[in-house]
């Protein structure tokens, strides 16, 4: 399946007020797409839309909580009213919690799942009904946590596992119905966005992302590639693909990395901000694509760019598989 060029598309992006969503919206608008930005931070979105419009782009803002089906339907209604329909729908809205599973409140667990999982479900089902006849691309934001688990981000990992299962099942049902809708799951590894600052934090230190860390624009390129030339799954960051492959070869060995992963998740010199944006948006983090990672940020992923071209994918995967087997060789398969 191949879709319209970006310049001929209307694209809905949830979680568009910062990070990957904002990077994608700006990049899509620069390529001529009509963009519908959705997030809880309506005022921040208005400012972003004003910037895009000044630069010659076409964009509208919709303040909405994706965890509420009625508000997601309002996003769709606004897209139809402004631009006549939707060609690509990107379910990007998401948050995380840092803390041991037993320490996190039930209210916080439920709010995370309401945004990460039910937000994706709501967006997907509304988008499918909108595109069932005219066709289009549905792009869901998973994570390497769709295939891996991380200590102190247990419910985030669970939500991304759930997004993967839902996305795979929906793809199969659309094929059975012969619907002209492609379904892509994007699986980024550590990405330089404000996500750690926006996290609900139960730890004694400010959270951080394990290296290597990639720029948000690398994810945006993968999303917009899938909007035109769909792929089933796209992993952003060769390191993420390496660890996914390694866990397949030796899952027990991956479990033994818990200590190193946990150590990288805690920063030593940053003040702790416990509340985050789980329940209420943080205005100081909206409008920003990048975060303040303590590690160097990689501008591109050679693996990801190769994987977007089918002839290069096979050799890239074989090479990463061999590297993963070497990395985890001391472990024993459990």
Residues tagged active-site: 156
Residue 167 token pair: 């996305």
Residue 111 half-sphere exposure toward CB, CA atoms < 13 A = 18
- CA neighbor of 208 nearest in space, from 272, 162, 147: 272
How far apart, in whole angstroms, are the C-alpha atoms of residue 98 and residue 78?
Answer: 35
SS3 of the chain: the string is: CCCCCHHHCEEEEECCCCHHHHHHHHHHHHCCCEEEEEECCHHHHHHHHHHHHHCCCEEEEEECCCCCHHHHHHHHHHHHHHHCCCCEEEECCCCCEECCCCCCCHHHHHHHHHHHCHHHHHHHHHHHHHHCCCCEEEEEECCHHHCCCCCCCHHHHHHHHHHHHHHHHHHHHHHHCCCCEEEEEEEECCEECCHHHHCEECCCCCECCCCCEEEHHHHHHHHHHHHHCCCCEEEECHHHHHHHHHHHHCHHHHHCCHHHHHHHCECCCCCCCCCCCCCCCCHHHCCCCCCCCCCCEECCCHHHHHHCCHHHHHHHHHHHHHHHHHHCCCCCCC
Q: Which whole-number Å values give the CA distances from 122 to 91, 193, 285, in the listed order?
A: 9, 24, 25
């Amino acid at each position: 399946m191949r879709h319209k060029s970006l310049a001929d598309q209307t694209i809905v992006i949830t979680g568009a007020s910062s990070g990957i969503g904002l990077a994608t919206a700006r990049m899509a608008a620069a390529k001529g797409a009509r963009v519908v930005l959705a997030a809880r931070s309506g005022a921040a979105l208005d400012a972003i839309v004003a910037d895009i419009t000044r630069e010659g782009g076409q964009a509208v803002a919709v303040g909405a909580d994706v965890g509420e089906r009625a508000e997601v339907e309002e996003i769709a209604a606004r897209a139809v009213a402004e631009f006549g329909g939707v060609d690509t729908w990107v379910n990007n809205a998401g948050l995380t919690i840092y803390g041991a599973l037993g320490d996190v409140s039930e209210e916080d667990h439920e709010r995370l799942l309401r945004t990460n999982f039910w937000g994706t479900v709501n967006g997907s089902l509304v988008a499918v009904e909108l595109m069932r006849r005219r066709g289009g691309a549905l792009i869901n934001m998973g994570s390497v946590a769709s295939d891996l688990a991380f200590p102190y981000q247990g419910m985030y990992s669970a939500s991304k596992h759930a997004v993967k299962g839902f996305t795979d099942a929906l793809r199969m049902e659309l094929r059975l119905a012969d619907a002209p809708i492609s379904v892509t799951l994007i699986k980024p590894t550590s990405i330089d966005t404000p996500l750690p600052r926006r996290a609900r934090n139960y730890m004694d230190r400010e959270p951080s992302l394990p290296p290597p860390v990639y720029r948000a624009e690398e994810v945006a390129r993968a999303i917009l590639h899938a909007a035109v030339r769909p792929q089933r799954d796209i992993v952003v960051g060769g390191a993420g693909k390496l660890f996914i492959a390694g866990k397949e070869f030796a899952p027990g060995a991956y479990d033994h990395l818990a200590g190193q992963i946990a150590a990288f998740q805690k920063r030593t010199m940053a003040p702790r901000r416990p509340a985050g944006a789980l329940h209420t948006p943080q205005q100081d983090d909206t409008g920003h694509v990048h975060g303040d990672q303590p590690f160097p940020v990689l501008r591109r992923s050679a693996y990801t760019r190769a994987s977007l071209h089918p002839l290069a994918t096979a050799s890239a995967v074989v090479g990463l598989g061999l590297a993963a087997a070497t990395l985890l060789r001391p472990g024993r398969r459990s």
